[in-house]
């Protein structure tokens, strides 16, 4: 029923060989490569850091895009901590990091650029920028998305926690089920459009499978 790639959980039956997947914060392209090979689907791997972008393998199924996902299009300053996970959120450890300017696209502009009308999965791991992106989404943009797997970063930036909870309520009230697969934080949250799965399946995933998987992970430690 579910699959997990690079610590991102999603409903695998909703991904087919004609699906469109957006990998926002593609890093070295591991998620893009794995999901395209498993499902034969088209993936847009969006990564703003040039040295990481160069490591992404472009194939017939993976289209790599040198850009940042953001709340609005334009030129964006992003910071490069030592771990190379680029962020617009410059409060990490309270120090100034090296920064670069990159091209940025809003979700709507990114979809228009590539002629995308429907997205079966968005994987989002963008080091704090997920909050302004999700806050900026219009209802018609949300209607084009079937499921999101998001790593929220309030475990790194505790001051974000209220904004994350507000976003979870906003997306849920916009016609999505919200399933946090991570037990102690928001590091692996799945949003699924209502109607894509039944309410009983949602209950099973959120209140049974989630805790079962957490228990199994503890046993393996």
pLDDT in tens, 136-195: 888 888 999 999 999 998 888 888 889 999 999 999 999 999 999 888 889 899 999 999
Give the pTM: 0.88
pLDDT, one tens digit per residue, over 76-133 is 988 876 555 555 555 544 445 678 899 999 999 999 999 999 999 999 998 778 899 9
Instruction: Give the pLDDT band (50/70/90) at residue 56.
Output: very high
The token pair that represents 25 in the structure block? 């914060």
Whether 62 and 45 have beta carbons less than 8 Å apart is answered as: yes
Q: Output the CA torsion 134→99→58→39 (10° steps).
A: -30
In the chain, the domains with their CATH numbers are 2-220 (3.40.50.150)
Mention every residue, 6+ apart, whose C-beta is less than 8 A from residue 94: none
Strand partners, 193: 176
Measure the CA–CA gap between 195 and 172, rounded to whole angstroms.
Answer: 13
């Amino acid at each position: 029923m579910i699959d997990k790639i690079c610590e991102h959980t999603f409903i695998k039956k909703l991904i087919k060989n004609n699906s469109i997947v957006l990998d926002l914060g593609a890093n070295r392209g591991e998620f893009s490569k794995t999901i395209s090979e498993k499902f034969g689907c088209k993936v847009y791997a969006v990564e703003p850091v040039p040295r990481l972008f160069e490591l992404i393998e472009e194939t017939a199924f993976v289209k790599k895009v040198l850009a940042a996902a953001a709340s609005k299009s334009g030129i964006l300053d992003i910071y490069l901590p030592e771990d190379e996970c680029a962020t617009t959120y410059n409060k990490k450890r309270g120090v100034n990091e090296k920064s670069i300017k990159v091209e940025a696209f809003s979700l709507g502009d990114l979809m228009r650029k590539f002629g995308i009308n429907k997205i079966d999965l968005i994987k989002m791991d963008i080091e704090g920028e997920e909050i302004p992106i999700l806050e900026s989404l219009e209802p018609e943009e949300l209607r084009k998305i079937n499921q999101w797997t998001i790593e929220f970063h309030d475990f790194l930036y505790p001051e974000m926690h209220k904004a994350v909870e507000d976003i979870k309520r906003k997306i849920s009230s916009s016609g999505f089920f919200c399933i946090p697969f991570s037990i102690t934080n928001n590091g692996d949250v799945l949003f699924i459009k209502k109607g894509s799965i039944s309410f009983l399946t949602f209950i099973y995933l959120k209140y049974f499978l989630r805790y079962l998987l957490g228990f199994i992970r503890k046993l393996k430690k």
